Structure 1
Amino acid sequence: MTERQIRLFGDPVLRSVCDPVVLGSRGVTDLVDDLLETVAVPGRAGLAANQIGVSSRAFSYNVDGVIGYILNPVLAEVQGEPELVDEGCLSVPGFFFPRLRYPFARVTGVDLDGNPVELSGDGLMGQALQHETDHLDGHLYIEGLQPEVKREAMRAIRESPWY
């Protein structure tokens, strides 16, 4: 297992729709190991494969002390009225902006053995499930910001030392 470097805003891999994972294919186990190792760093709630440069439909999560992964996730359900929540992203380091998210989300997919996996939750877990599936569809959280907040976010990002 290896903690992998996080790709930052501006990297084209973050804007591409990720390919489905082919179970049993070479490297899938290593990808899952790397996702788990990289998300285990304190302060990280989730990590999509494209954030470590791999355009595969997989993500890991680290919420309330529970670390896991899912392959080929599909956002199956959201519930409630969208609420403004402060959201950040490992690919946009150092920033948090208010973003509308549904309070509950459910994702379905599989594990390495092809067994069905269902993840669901509210609060941080619900937010992470929506955020990570967005990544796998080539979307960054800043795209969903209110227009005036998005302008502020883009200005701040352009002025950041890592950009």
Structure 2
Amino acid sequence: MALEIRTFGDPVLRSAATPVEGFDEALSRLAEDMLVSMREHEGVGLAATQVGRLKRIFVAGLEDEEYAVVNPVIESRSQETETDTEGCLSLPGVQVEVERPVSIIVTGYDPSGEMIRIEATELLARIIQHEMDHLDGITILERTDRESRREAMRGLRERMLAQR
């Protein structure tokens, strides 16, 4: 079932998620619903906070691979970074430049409680870092430069006013 994606202005997007303590059917269902929502909105990642759940879980999909990671931890980051354009399902129409490490190693659990380790590079590393930021209440607006943030905020306000 597709879940409602929270957008700019919703306070849940600024909230930090809490660690998942129980691995049960409800968690597996949440992960599957998040994957469905991500696909329906043509995204490549989605954090639980973006669907109003303050749980440390995100999903990501790239090419034929899909991931659901519970209680993720970045174990290492490359020294090498790259700046690229990012968008966000919670910030419709916004695209800003964000600098991130080009590779990371993340550990966590799958929704059934099995330990997982992902060695991610390039786009997958960027997606995972973006979703983990959401779990800490951080959006791409906090990861970009001041001028880009100002311009993005102006566009968001104009779109919000136009919807009234």
Query: What TM-score comes out, normalization by structure 1 length?
Result: 0.91
Deviates more, 1:135-144 or 1:94-103: 94-103
Q: CA deviation at 1:44?
A: 1.0
CA distance 1:42–1:24, change in 2 (3 Å):
closer
Deviates more, 1:34-43 or 1:78-87: 34-43
Q: CA deviation at 1:113?
A: 2.8
> Secondary structure of the residue that 1:17 maps to in structure 2?
coil
Aligned partners of 1:119, 1:141: CA distance in 2, in Å?
22
Deviates more, 1:123-132 or 1:28-37: 28-37
Aligned partners of 1:158, 1:81: CA distance in 2, in Å?
35
Structure 2 partner of 1:58: 57
Aligned partners of 2:23, 2:129: CA distance in 1, in Å?
26
Q: CA deviation at 1:118?
A: 1.3
> Secondary structure of the residue that 1:21 maps to in structure 2?
coil
> Secondary structure of the residue that 2:151 maps to in structure 1?
helix
Query: What TM-score comes out, normalization by structure 2 length?
Result: 0.91
Does residue 98 of structure 1 match 2:110? no
Q: What is the root-mean-square deviation in Å for CA atoms of aligned residues?
A: 1.7
Which one has the bigger helix percentage?
2
Confirm or deny: 8 A CA contact 2:23 2:113 kept in the other structure: no
Aligned partners of 2:28, 2:78: CA distance in 1, in Å?
33
> Secondary structure of the residue that 2:93 maps to in structure 1?
strand
Structure 1 partner of 2:75: 76
Aligned partners of 2:131, 2:35: CA distance in 1, in Å?
14
Amino acid at match of 2:120: G
Aligned partners of 1:33, 1:117: CA distance in 2, in Å?
17
Structure 2 partner of 1:40: 39
Aligned partners of 1:23, 1:112: CA distance in 2, in Å?
9
Aligned partners of 1:16, 1:115: CA distance in 2, in Å?
27
Q: CA deviation at 1:22?
A: 1.6
Q: CA deviation at 1:82?
A: 2.2
Aligned partners of 1:53, 1:98: CA distance in 2, in Å?
26
Q: Alignment length, in residue pairs?
A: 162
Q: CA deviation at 1:41?
A: 2.9
Segments of 5+ residues of structure 2 without an aligned counterpart are none
Q: CA deviation at 1:25?
A: 4.8
> Secondary structure of the residue that 1:68 maps to in structure 2?
strand
Percent identity between the two aligned chains: 36
Amino acid at match of 1:83: E
Does residue 22 of structure 1 match 2:21? yes
Structure 2 partner of 1:86: 85
Structure 2 partner of 1:129: 128
Aligned partners of 2:79, 2:139: CA distance in 1, in Å?
22
Aligned partners of 1:140, 1:35: CA distance in 2, in Å?
18
Deviates more, 1:99-108 or 1:43-52: 99-108
